[in-house]
């Protein structure tokens, strides 16, 4: 995933990285190469996935994705040197001849963005968190006297807390490129293998991955509240933690046989804090009277806060994963097709004269029977119109009406009459008037004042009857009636979901033409 994101950023598509991530992770073929190219196509990014002869390697762009020794890598060419970045964040530099020897020749390349890139504000939450931390430290420094050694210990606690958060991110599957590089520096290191191992679980509610956060969180809070009296307790507890550190190293070395570099970094911070025990002025009375009370308050607050937050965070992450899995199922084109239904009588559907948007020969043909008085029709048309605006060449949207012409008490009947009349004399005006009603929702009086004409046209009246009778013939006594490529649109989907199937409809249409041509 991070390789494609890096490719997008280098080609000035950083503004669509998050949208790509959502499309890719919810793709029914995730995590295949097709899922990558299909997601890029949905975003309107020109891309190419092809097998290239080795002789044409020199003609390839400077940066692209490719398969090397069966693994997906990001390749960069510069000064007759090949740099490849793998999924684990490991970089390797090779000569072209050495690379081509094991090259699988499959590439994914994208067209660079020629338009001005819209950069998104990133890391704002981390900036806010950092500013909050700085304010707390300044507030604490205002009421307490900090020495150089206290500032150093405070820095160690902040570093330990930051490492603890990174460990928890790995546990919950929240990957970052920097951490991936650090955790997979060589074949013997893998933070993921250690952190997610059964060996890291202490009880059903507590694991080794919780301990750094609890320990450094309590240390930091205690130092901010009472720095002088907390030093001895923090450094003393750090020394007492050494047996646990030895046990952690033993598990990694003997049991799991993989090194967690984040865990080792945390162990190093704990050892450095333990050194302060030797240099601190340890006074039992001051520790018991002030430091111990402050530390017990801190540890109680941090423990209770974490064990309240942890289940919520765990449920949210699991729910996010389940939603992605469900989206993969929902985005399966075969599932969508199986839920579409044949229309009892398709006769004369194509002959009905409606208000058209987009490319008449498009592979995706959406037909909506609307009623001006129907609130749900506003959403149906709005979703379809938005889809058309995003893909004007790939969609044809046709608007018809399910309104009884004989019901003279229906005050909205005049809207249908005027829309059909405008469509017969100036289709552009009818499209604008339809948008005014269903999307802009300007209201009946304002709409009639803007678009109303005195219609006495038998052709328009007959067209209203034809559309209404067609719905009655098929027992569509409701609106909106949604039809996709002459089949009834499934209730389990929204029209906006068609966005995911644009390429599937194109492929289906292409195969049909090839079959007819044969």
Q: Verify that 131 and 85 share a domain, yes or no.
A: no
The full DSSP string for 57-75 is: GGGS-SEEEEEETTEEEEE
Instruction: Tell whether 440 and 495 lie within a shared domain.
Output: yes
In a domain, 331, yes or no: no
Give me the CATH number covering residue 7. Answer: 3.90.70.10
Given 326, 354, 375, the domain boundary residue is 326
Structure tokens given for 384: 């379809």
Q: Are 256 and 199 in contact (CB under 8 A)?
A: yes
In a domain? residue 398: yes
Residue with tokens 């948007």, as numbered in its chain: 357
CB 468 within 8 A of CB 405: yes
Q: Is residue 117 part of a domain?
A: no
The string over 329-368, giving b where at least 16 C-beta atoms fall within 10 Å of a residue's C-beta and e elsewhere, is eebbeeebeeebeebeeeeebeeeebbebbbeebbbbbbb
CATH number at residue 219: 1.20.1440
Judge if 83 and 204 occupy the same domain: no
Exposure string over 424-452, b if 16+ CB within 10 A, otherwise e: eeeeeebbebbebbbeeeeeeeebeeebe
Given a contact cutoff of 8 angstroms between Cβ atoms, the answer to whether 482 and 383 are in contact is: no
Residues 264, 296, single domain; the answer is: yes
The separation between CA 486 and the C-alpha centre of its own chain, rounded to angstroms, equals: 33
Pick the last residue of a domain from 301, 326, 351: 326
Q: Residue 121 domain-assigned?
A: no
Question: Do 357 and 393 have their domain in common?
Answer: yes
Same domain, residue pair 265 and 305: yes
- 210 and 93, same domain (yes or no): no
Q: State the CB neighbour count (10 A cutoff) for residue 66.
A: 21
Tell me: do 222 and 317 sit in the same domain. yes
* pLDDT given at position 118: 47
In a domain, 433, yes or no: yes
Shared-domain flag, residues 155 and 283: yes
Measure the CA–CA gap between 154 and 146, rounded to whole angstroms. Answer: 10
pLDDT of residue 385: 96
Which structural domain range is residue 501 located in? 337-517
Question: Are both 61 and 41 inside the same structural domain?
Answer: yes
Residue 122 maps to a domain: no
Identify whether the C-beta of residue 418 lies closer than 8 Å to the C-beta of residue 453.
yes
Angle ∠(340,343,346) on CA atoms, nearest 5: 135
Write down the pTM of the prediction: 0.70
pLDDT at 445: 92
Structurally, the chain folds into a number of domains equal to 3
Whether residue 32 is contained in a domain is answered as yes
> Residue 9: its pLDDT value, please?
86
Angle of helix 458-473 relative to helix 413-425, nearest 10 degrees, comes to 120
pLDDT tens for the chain, residues 1 to 518: 678 888 888 888 888 888 888 888 888 888 888 889 888 888 888 888 899 998 888 888 889 999 998 889 999 988 788 999 888 778 888 888 889 988 998 999 998 887 755 444 445 555 666 777 777 777 777 777 777 778 888 889 999 999 999 999 888 877 776 787 788 777 788 888 888 887 777 777 888 889 999 999 999 998 888 887 778 788 888 888 888 889 889 988 888 888 899 999 999 999 998 887 666 554 444 454 566 888 888 999 999 999 999 999 889 888 888 888 888 898 999 999 999 999 877 778 888 999 999 999 999 999 999 999 888 999 999 999 999 998 899 999 999 999 999 888 889 999 999 999 999 999 999 999 999 999 999 999 999 999 988 777 788 899 999 999 999 999 999 999 999 999 999 999 999 999 999 889 988 888 877 767 66
Q: Beta strand 355-358 with 71-78: parallel, antiparallel or unpaired?
A: unpaired
Give me the pLDDT at residue 469, please: 93
Q: Does 116 map to a domain? A: no
Same domain, 367 and 271: no
Domain end (from 305, 326, 347) = 326
The CATH number of residue 494's host domain is 3.40.30.10
Whole-number Å distance between alpha carbons of 327 and 512: 28
CA distances from 120 to 15, 174, 277 (A): 6, 20, 46
Q: Say whether both 314 and 347 belong to one domain.
A: no
């Amino acid at each position: 995933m991070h390789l494609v994101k890096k490719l997008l950023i280098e080609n000035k598509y950083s503004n669509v990285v998050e949208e790509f991530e959502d499309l890719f992770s919810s793709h029914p073929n995730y995590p295949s190469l097709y899922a990558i190219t299909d997601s890029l196509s949905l975003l309107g990014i020109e891309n190419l996935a092809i097998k290239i002869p080795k002789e044409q390697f020199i003609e390839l762009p400077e940066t692209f994705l490719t398969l090397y020794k069966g693994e997906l890598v990001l390749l960069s060419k510069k000064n007759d040197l090949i740099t490849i970045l793998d999924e684990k964040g490991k970089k390797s530099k090779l000569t072209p001849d050495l690379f081509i020897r094991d090259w699988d020749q499959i590439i994914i390349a994208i067209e660079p963005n020629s338009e001005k890139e819209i950069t998104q504000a990133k890391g704002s939450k981390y900036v806010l968190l950092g500013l909050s931390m700085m304010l707390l430290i300044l507030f604490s420094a205002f009421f307490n006297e900090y020495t150089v050694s206290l500032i150093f210990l405070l820095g160690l606690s902040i570093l330990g807390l930051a490492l603890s958060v990174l460990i928890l991110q790995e546990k919950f599957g929240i990957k970052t490129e920097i951490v991936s590089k650090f955790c997979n520096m060589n074949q013997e290191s893998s933070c993921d293998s250690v952190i997610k191992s059964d060996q890291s679980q202490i009880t059903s509610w507590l694991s080794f991955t919780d301990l750094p956060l609890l320990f450094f969180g309590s240390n930091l809070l205690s130092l901010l509240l009472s720095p002088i009296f907390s030093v001895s307790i923090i450094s003393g507890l750090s020394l007492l933690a050494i047996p646990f550190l030895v046990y952690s190293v033993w598990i990694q070395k003997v049991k799991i046989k993989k090194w967690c570099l984040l865990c080792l970094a945390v162990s190093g911070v704990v050892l450095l804090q333990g050194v302060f025990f030797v240099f601190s002025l340890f006074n039992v009375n001051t520790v018991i009277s002030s430091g111990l009370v402050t530390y017990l308050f801190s540890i109680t607050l941090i423990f209770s806060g974490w064990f309240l937050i942890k289940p919520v965070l765990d449920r949210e992450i699991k729910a996010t994963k389940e939603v992605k899995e469900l989206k993969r199922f929902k985005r399966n084109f075969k599932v969508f097709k199986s839920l579409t239904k044949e229309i009892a009588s398709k006769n004369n559907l194509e002959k009905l004269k409606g208000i058209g948007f987009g490319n008449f020969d498009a592979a995706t043909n959406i037909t909506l029977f609307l009623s001006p008085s129907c609130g749900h029709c506003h959403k149906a048309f709005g979703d379809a119109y938005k889809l058309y605006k995003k893909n004007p060449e790939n969609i044809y949207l046709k608007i018809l009406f399910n309104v009884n012409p004989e019901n003279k008490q229906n005050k909205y009947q005049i809207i249908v009459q005027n829309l059909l009349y405008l469509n017969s004399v100036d289709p552009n005006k009818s499209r604008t008037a339809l948008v005014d009603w269903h999307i802009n929702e300007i209201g009946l009086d304002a709409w009639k004042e803007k678009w109303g004409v005195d219609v006495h046209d038998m052709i328009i009246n007959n067209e209203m009857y034809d559309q209404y009778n067609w719905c009655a013939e098929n027992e569509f006594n409701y609106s909106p009636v949604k039809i996709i490529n002459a089949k009834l649109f499934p209730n389990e989907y929204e029209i906006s979901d068609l966005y995911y199937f644009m390429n599937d409809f194109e492929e289906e249409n292409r195969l049909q033409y090839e079959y007819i041509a044969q």
